[in-house]
Amino acid sequence: MNRFYAIHIGLGAFHRAHQLYYFNQLLLKNTNKSNHLSTWHYISATIRSNKKLIDQLNQQNCQYTLVEESENESNYTQIHALEAALFAGEGNANTLVEYIADDAVKMLSYTITEKGYYSTLSDSTFQLDHADIIYDLNHQQAPKTAIGITAWGLHKRYKNHQSGITLISCDNLPHNGKILKNAILSFAKSIDNDFANWIDDNCTFPSTMVDRIVPAVSEHDIEKVNQHIGYKDLAPVITERFSQWVIEDNFASDKPPLENVGVQFVRDVAPFESMKLTMLNGSHSLIAYLGALAGFKTVSDAIAHPDIYKLIHYYMSKIAAPLVIGLPEEISLDDYKDQLLERFKNPHLAHKTEQIAADGSQKIPQRWLTNLQTLIKRQDNYEIYALGIAAWIIFTQGRNDQGNMLTVNDPLKDKFIASTDAKKLVQYYFSLESVFNPELQKNTLLNEKVLHYVKLITQQGTLAAIQSFLHSVTTSKSIELTKEKQ
């Protein structure tokens, strides 16, 4: 029996509820079957934080409880697919580099968030001059980024004349395989052009779409799980019943038979990426910023408000769905919309608006701004994105409508400014080149619309701004204004 391995960088709640869930399903499928079947296991690592989680998992022999919550029932599963959990931060990356170089490893996956790719997402260029990347290029034995760790692991494979592997980004980025490939090849070229050519010839970077809502687990959640299972689990994960994984069928060598457990291997992932980023992630960010400003702590609380529900229903139906093209005929976007709205309502998940709101400077170019540019070119109504951008700007000021503190977690946090001058605020945020490309920066009408909603939210409150927006699209005045001015 062959024993194959996948490496994962970004060992957090999502990885444990998604990729490890599917690999665990594979192991269960193999139970009581032929000993000639191959088995697949994960070796997973975190490189920046969560050392406590790694210690907890190792105390439990890398096993933990996955709880799938629906309105009617909770399903408890023990996950056994994680063979090793590593902390590869603080100069401890060499073990992970060695694992990547191991010939039994056939696949490497990532959940490192948008900022982990060191790519300027407004134009997809790799930040070769970033201090972290420069450090990794000069510290082969102790790199600290996912890109550096991967490249040096592949370099060992190259030097040892081993086979290439499949590298899969599982982050919410359009064409995430291309972004990952560009980052790895750019780094590799700075080491050796022949090495970069070897990667290009022997490794593959399939794009993928992942979908499962996985909120952060609280101490109360842990106590509840432990009461149910009857023993102490330090690191359970709570998620929804729904799960989806779509992967471009482009593997360098051995491929885990994930199609046997519900994973879709397809020729082109782009339509599925567009569906997820535009409809789910785009909606999530609207709920996060508007909901948090209005005082709602969770997605389910926010979507329960009739005006926010109407806003998201309008966004999915009238803005997002028409932007998604190329899906197989059997997939109904109307059904997908209804399914999403039901998932958002799930009160058992307690998905925090401030958690989703994190890293907005990295998320909104992918979730909103690409589609915004499409709508502008078509001279279609893009008012809802102006409302969203305004909400993001105000969210970064750190207080909601009631004056309560908000947690602002963003790689550009040190560059954000605070100001009571709405015009100055909007002008400054639109000058952030890593967020807004020149075409959007120069769009006077867009700037005016964002300024309008910044003033409306700060003067009358978020719910009043949403109501104003809903009235404007009902009367179609905003559509006429947009076309008239352009």
| Complete DSSP assignment for 35-90 | TTS-EEEEEEEESSS-HHHHHHHHHTTT-EEEEEE-SS-EEEEEE--EEEEEE--T
Q: For residue 449, give the H/E element and its range.
A: helix 444-460
**Structure token pair of residue 276:** 């997820």
Q: Which conformational region is residue 185 in: left (phi greater than 0), alpha (psi within -120 to 50 degrees), or beta?
A: alpha
Q: Is the pLDDT of residue 442 over 90?
A: yes
Write down the pLDDT at residue 33.
Answer: 58
Q: Checking phi first, is residue 380 left (phi over 0); if not, alpha (psi -120 to 50) or beta?
A: beta
User: How does residue 320 score in pLDDT terms, banded at 50, 70 and 90?
Assistant: very high
Confidence of residue 87 (pLDDT cuts 50, 70, 90): very high
Instruction: Calculate mean pLDDT across residues 231-247.
Output: 97
Longest dimension (CA), the chain: 70
The pLDDT score that the predictor gives to residue 482 is: 42
Identify the band that residue 319 occupies on the pLDDT scale cut at 50, 70 and 90. very high
The phi and psi torsions of 85 (rounded to 5 degrees) equal -120, 125
Residue 35: the pLDDT is: 52
Please state, in angstroms and rounded to a whole number, the distance separating the CA atoms of residues 482 and 140.
Answer: 53
- pLDDT of 42 over the 50 cut: yes
* Partners of 46 in beta bridges: 87
Burial code of 220-258, b = ≥16 C-beta within 10 A, e = fewer? ebbeebeeeeeeebebbbbbbeebebbbbebbbebbbeb
Q: What percent of the chain has pLDDT over 70?
A: 96
Confidence check: pLDDT of 475 > 80: no
Q: What is the pLDDT averaged over residues 339-356?
A: 94
* DSSP letter (8 states) at residue 245: E
Average pLDDT, the chain: 94
Q: Are 219 and 237 in contact (CB under 8 A)?
A: no
Q: Check: pTM over 0.75? Answer yes or no.
A: yes
Per-residue confidence band for 476, with pLDDT thresholds at 50, 70 and 90: low
Least confident range of 37-41, 263-267, 372-376, 422-426? 37-41
The answer to whether the CB of 254 falls within 8 A of the CB of 82 is no
Assign 1 a pLDDT band (cuts: 50, 70, 90): low
**Amino acid letter at 78?**
Q
Q: What pLDDT sits at residue 48?
A: 84
Return the closest-CA partner of residue 84 out of 120, 46, 113. Answer: 46
Token pair for 364? 């909104």
**φ, ψ (nearest 5 deg) of residue 303:** -70, -20
Residue 31: its pLDDT value, please? 67
Amino acid making up residue 404: N
CA 406 to chain centre: 21
CA distance 295 to 305: 11
Segment 205-230 mean pLDDT: 95
Sequence-distant (≥ 6) Cβ neighbours of residue 356 within 8 angstroms: 284, 285, 287, 288, 299
Q: Which of 108-122, 130-144, 160-174 has the lowest mean pLDDT?
A: 108-122
CA distance 365 to 430: 12
Q: How far apart are CA 75 and CA 21, in angstroms?
A: 13
Q: Determine the Cα–Cα distance for residues 5 and 170; give it in Å rounded to an integer.
A: 17
Residue 204, classed as helix, strand or coil, is strand
d(CA 485, CA 153): 54
Q: Binning pLDDT at 50, 70 and 90, where does residue 20 land?
A: very high
Domains of the chain (ranges, CATH numbers): 3-266 (3.40.50.720), 270-485 (1.10.1040.10)
Q: What is the DSSP letter of 215?
A: P
Query: Could you write out the DSSP letters of every residue in 338-362?
Result: HHHHHHHH-TTT--BHHHHHTTHHH
**Chain centroid offset of residue 77 CA:** 24
How far apart are alpha carbons 273 and 315 in whole angstroms?
A: 17
Mean pLDDT along residues 212-218: 93
